Amino acid sequence: MAVAARRSTNPLEIFEVVANVGRFVQLWRCPSWGSMDPWEEPKFYPREILCYTLVSKTWRAALLPVCWEFYDGKAMYGVPHQVISHYSHYFRTMTNCLHRGPFNSKHLRKLEIQYNYVYCRIYSKKIIEDLQLSISELSWIAGANGTPSNLDLSNDGEVILMKLSLIATVVKDFTLKNWLIYDVPELLKFLARCSRLSKVSLHNICGLKEFPYSTSTMEGMSIPQPYILLPAVTMLHLDFTPESSKATLEMMTCCPNLTHLEIVGSWVSSKCTYASTPIYHYCPNLRSISINIAGRRQDGGRSKLQKNELANLIINLVGTRGTGKLDTFKATLFEFDEAIAEALVKHTRDTLEVFEVYLDGFYCIQKDDQQESFDNVHHILKNCCNLKIFSIQYDCDYYSIDYLGGSWACVGALEELKIHGGWYGESSKQFEDVGVSSNDGCTWIWRAGGGVSVSPGTLERILIIVKSMPRLKRLSINGSRIYKIKKIG
């Protein structure tokens, strides 16, 4: 009777261990070694990892899929066509397709088509025809140097191919970037063709002047029906451009099951914050909002959002009667003003669980305005009783932590606390073990791996607050992680 082969106990002969270690081997290098030029694009450099594949059969089997998992035609331009074709069955992600194939990428998951290159369009079209049933993420990127290109959704050859092929039945994540689209109804029909689409990302899409609605009204309401429904979409990423921001935001009205919204842009125009039809009626299940609007305008200067603009946008998204279900708010802002804080407290007081704010360029504003932002942050802590994650990051030399004082409504619920910023130029202070009691009857200790850079008295005040948080599991101060461990004995 044959004896079954035993699995090796040597870590260097375990397939999964070798593969995971292989992911730390450098595969991409800039031609000018050590170059700090941010515009210099890296090239494919597999020599080191290919040397490791010669160690043993296990190493070769584990490392070849790591080496060839990601295909980038620009970075791999010097690799012969036959070599690319030979290893194409390992590809999971393809971008900038500049090799003619043939490709045997039966397990391809992500395809990014750069329309700036003629060969990329031709070869990507062939990939879609051959491998359409495996692709779940598809990106169409156009416009050299960020200038949008016109996309005719009724006549463009690739679009017709997309409509007729089976790829529309498997794509779950679809991205359009740097396109000029005038026909919004055609865009919606095109997206509706993708029956399993769960995430849509629109980056720098221009030309969306007016958003269409149906002539009928929603049942039991006097607001218009969406022009078309995208019931499978639960995540929406919108990258604003000033002239089309309102129409871009109204994409939400077609997504009745939307749960996550990401908004990125240089600024939000007032016409988009005062939508004639409140969007929360169309997206009753919205739970998470991520906003990256730091008050920068396209000319590179800094300016504040107009008063109440962002607050009105939040109200437009979550409702005016506090009936929303929003539990996550993440934002990169120029400052956290009173109107935003009031809107969140009024409409998400009992539902908000995650609050993460990064005050970008905070050092540019006056100390009085900085203090006002801190006061408004404390307004969140004082009123939102179910917060589980609280994170604030900012860049300035103002190190008052009065906003951490007073009573917190979330003391009994908070599980993660992250505070970063404001305490520069201070020497690292050794963190001594701090014991705290917990509801489980055990004694726990907060212990840092090293010193923590804080201003005098800051650490002590934070620890006083931490001691009263029985559920707190993760603590980070100025980049230093402090761990909670159970005391033995």
Mean pLDDT of the chain: 78
- What whole-number percentage of the chain has pLDDT above 70? 68
Q: What is the pLDDT of residue 57?
A: 92
Q: What is the pLDDT of residue 260?
A: 96
Task: Classify residue 170 by burial, with Cβ atoms within 10 Å: 0-12, 13-18, 19+.
Answer: middle
Average pLDDT of span 137-160: 71
Ranges of beta strands (E only) in 133-192 are 137-141, 149-150, 173-177, 179-180
Contacting residues for 388 by C-beta, under 8 A, at least 6 apart: 353, 354, 410, 413, 414, 415, 416
Three-state DSSP at 445 gives: strand
8 confidence band (pLDDT: 50, 70, 90)? low
Question: How many angstroms separate the CA atoms of 458 and 456, rounded?
Answer: 6
The answer on pLDDT for 32 being more than 80 is no
Indicate the length of the chain as a whole number.
489
181 confidence band (pLDDT: 50, 70, 90)? confident
H/E stretch holding 261 reads: strand 260-264
Residues facing 267 on adjacent strands: none
Residues facing 110 on adjacent strands: 93, 137
Q: Among 108-112, 156-160, 232-236, 252-256, where is mean pLDDT lowest?
A: 156-160
Residues facing 319 on adjacent strands: none
- What whole-number percentage of the chain has pLDDT above 90? 26
Q: What is the pLDDT of residue 456?
A: 61
CA distances from 189 to 27, 204, 230, 254 (A): 41, 20, 9, 11
Q: What is the pLDDT of residue 1?
A: 42
- Which of 148, 141, 204 lies closest to 174, judged by CA? 141
Three-state DSSP at 327 gives: coil
Cis amide leading into 102 (omega within 30): yes
Distance between terminal CA atoms of the chain? 52
- Contact in structure between 104 and 85 (CB atoms under 8 Å): yes
Average pLDDT of span 349-362: 87
Q: What is the pLDDT of residue 262?
A: 93
**b vs e for 24-52, b when ≥16 Cβ sit within 10 Å of the residue's Cβ?**
eeebebeeeeeeeeeeeeebbebeebeeb
Tokens representing 282?
């169309």
> Computed over its alpha carbons, how large is the radius of gyration of the chain?
26
77-91, 184-198, 324-338, 448-462, range with greatest mean pLDDT: 77-91
Tokens representing 130?
């051959």
- Angle of the 338-348 helix axis to the 367-383 helix axis, nearest 10: 10
H/E stretch holding 271 reads: helix 270-273
- Which of 335, 338, 343, 342 lies closest to 367, judged by CA? 335
Half-sphere exposure in the Cβ direction for 312 (13 Å, CA): 15
Q: How far is CA 50 from the centre of its chain?
A: 33
Q: Could you read off the pLDDT of 416-470 as tens digits, one per residue?
A: 999 887 654 455 555 666 666 555 666 666 666 666 666 666 677 777 778 788 8
192-201, 219-228, 415-424, range with greatest mean pLDDT: 192-201
Question: How many angstroms separate the CA atoms of 362 and 333, rounded?
Answer: 9
Contacting residues for 420 by C-beta, under 8 A, at least 6 apart: 391, 392, 393, 394, 476, 477, 478, 479
Q: Could you read off the pLDDT of 258-303 as tens digits, one per residue?
A: 999 998 875 555 455 545 567 888 888 899 999 887 644 443 434 4
Which has more confidence, 164 or 74?
A: 74
Q: Could you read off the pLDDT of 314-354 as tens digits, one per residue?
A: 888 887 655 558 899 999 888 888 989 999 998 888 899 99
Which has more confidence, 222 or 412?
A: 412
Average pLDDT of span 368-386: 87
Tokens representing 257?
């099951």
Report pTM: 0.84
- Report the C-alpha dihedral over residues 280, 286, 287, 291, rounded to 10 degrees: -80
Average pLDDT of span 143-167: 64
- Contact in structure between 331 and 358 (CB atoms under 8 Å): yes
DSSP label at residue 124: H
Question: How many angstroms separate the CA atoms of 354 and 329, rounded?
Answer: 6
65-69, 134-138, 468-472, range with greatest mean pLDDT: 65-69
Tokens representing 251?
């994409």
